[in-house]
Structure 1
């Protein structure tokens, strides 16, 4: 039988692919099905995948993605130019492979994009846009950030390999404990006590694109950039851990990271949680406050923290590539919008609104119970 006929002839796997594709589509389209997937189905899948991938010390997902890209690009060239095979069956085979990757992605993690937003999941009202309320939040935040910095200890900023290894260990412990206590907060409980972040295989390239961490859904892994500085590590670790627990929205992942880290008794982890959202706070302050108010607000923050932020900016800019970054942002923005994430990459800045809404909810709850 000719290769072309073999390729185009329907096989049992094609029926399986069609059924899976239809199932994924229904879960994406039907209201409420995304919540069922996230809280009832995904924990089972995540537990199984992370247990298997955890047996390997390297990022299996990175290897899979790299090999997939090489095959999708290289196979047509090899098949058509070298083996002189017909274009139609060759590209049909590539299309089938991409369809399997699509189904695999959504079945193993991607359907988490279809769950209800955090406001619906925990019965929380969005914070009203108010400059005065933001000023109150921002001032309290600055005071908490300063206090956390003073208590963090030198180990939080040390760059030695021994100190960094200690920060990683403490981050894993604090994150596990923190997420285990978030009952009724719209997120799954940790389902794999042995889960840990793996180092990105292509950290240099990721730094060029400004990527510090990622969720690798195909094998239930989450990875962190090897270039992350010690004081940034705990919050980024907790952020990616939220993704592993089924949180797809970036603003929500930042929120859970903030809650878990700032509630920690570990000074270094606590400071990292506050420090992680500093760019988002300053961005909102710049837009909502007058020039004089913004300058006064900057002075409210410990100058050492501002210096640290400037140092971080220079650190990452030195590794940055504008071409790689813009290319990554373009495709990632399309990816987020394709998964119905409002605002695309702008969802990263949504963390401040979520934190303010959560603080209002907490204050109202305390007021209600005190009556």
Structure 2
């Protein structure tokens, strides 16, 4: 009986043993991930003794390179896929055994997809099941009242107005600064926040600009963390006012903060407490956007009262940001965001893309913990 079962498996295995071996190992890693993620102690052991040291070692090497290895990886992957399709197309006309060619092409595609997915789960997915920022910090997100939202929004508007004057601006009155200077300044923006939350300490890994930033904009992404290289990658095409906050957000991911609401809170706090007025302004602006959107839903009258208090400089940046992203509201960006929503939910993040806005719970818990 065993021979009958194994015989066809071994028959097909011999046609591309290397590809089947990659798929088998990847499936083994995925099975281990699905088992381990339900056991917090095993997750913490894996993170502390394997995943984090490995990732930081790789990121330390990549940090010495003047370009984004993540971006290069995506380009090489696209070239490999294109070359594979060409090879397959040409082979269909020349091969005598087309069924075997199709099988090998399928085996190659399956091996690549499984390897990438397994690597991602091992180097990043596992972080979603580790000890959260809330658990480490003791700061608990709670349902917030309309009054809390009003108070927090007013607080962030005040901070935004205070720091807006220190931001260099272009002829249209919009924030305008050198991205290279911002990236250099990012080396120290977590120093103050790390004093409050020592577990955020990590080796300095400067974020890198993405050369094809407009491609990111087309998919409505301002940046991304690439777990295979440990790099934080920044879109440098969208209006600059929010760019420092995005840098701080992606650096939060480098500090093992996986859930987006927690990374948003940590990034905003790092920017505000950085001691750099440009970062502080961007942090206040980012926090204001999330808080104001929530306040509009909870208390439209309160929202109307606060809008006139926003300074002209901040208004110019908000308008520029909305105008820019409106250009990229296309079916392509909508599909990309829906896929990303499903990706987040697949790691037990039930809010999906809405988790970004859920940072308001942490902001209110931090600045206005009592219902007033």
TM-score by structure 2 length? 0.84
Q: 1:201 to 1:154 in 2, by over 3 A?
A: closer
Give the whole-Å Cα distance in 2 for the aligned partners of 1:103 and 1:182: 35
TM-superposed deviation, 1:335: 0.8
Structure 1 residue 32: Cα displacement: 4.0
Partner Cα separation in structure 1 for residue 360 and residue 18 of structure 2: 54
CA separation in 2, counterparts of 1:158 and 1:137?
Answer: 24
Q: Deviations over 1:148-179 (max 9, x none)?
A: 2234465996536xx44333322x13324245
2:35 counterpart residue number = 26
Deviation track 1:16-71 (CA, whole Å, cap 9, x = no partner) reads 44543333222323234334444554331221111222233222222323433454
1:318-337 aligned within 5 A:
318=327, 320-337=328-345
Which of the numbers 346, 350, 353 marks the counterpart of 1:338? 346
Distance 1:179 1:99, change over 3 A: farther
Q: CA deviation at 1:111?
A: 1.4
Whole-Å Cα distance in 2 between the matches of residues 329 and 11 of structure 1? Answer: 33
Q: Could you tell me how far apart the structure 1 residues matched to 2:168 and 2:277 are?
A: 7
The equivalent residue for 2:182 is 167
* Residues 1:159 and 1:151: Cα distance change in structure 2 (over 3 Å): closer
Cα offset, 1:199, TM superposition: 1.7
- State the match for 2:231 in structure 1: 221
Alignment size in residue pairs: 354
Mark the CA change 1:53 to 1:145 in structure 2 (over 3 Å): closer, same or farther: same
Distance in 2 (alpha carbons) for counterparts of 1:167 and 1:11: 46
Change in Cα spacing, 1:11 to 1:179, as seen in structure 2 (3 Å) is same
Q: Structure 2: which 5+ runs fail to align?
A: 1-10
* Structure 1 residue 333: Cα displacement: 1.0
**Residue 198 of structure 1 contacts residue 221 of structure 1 at CA under 8 Å; is this kept in 2?**
yes
Separation in structure 2 between the aligned mates of residue 88 and residue 221 of structure 1, nearest angstrom? 36
**Alignment partner of 1:286 is 2:286:** no
List alignment gaps of at least 5 residues for structure 1. Answer: 365-371
Whether contact under 8 Å (2:22, 2:111) holds in the other structure is: no
Match of 2:358 in 1: 350
Describe the SS at the equivalent of 2:36: helix
Q: Within the alignment, does 1:309 sit opposite 2:307 as a pair?
A: no
Task: Identify the match of residue 245 of structure 1 among 255, 264, 283.
Answer: 255
Relative to 1, partners in 2 of residues 1:83 and 1:273: Cα closer, same or farther, differing over 3 Å? farther
1:274 paired to 2:289: no
| Secondary structure of the structure 2 residue equivalent to 1:277 | helix
1:224-282 deviations in Å (ceiling 9; x for gaps): 11214333222111100011121111111110011111112221111111011222121
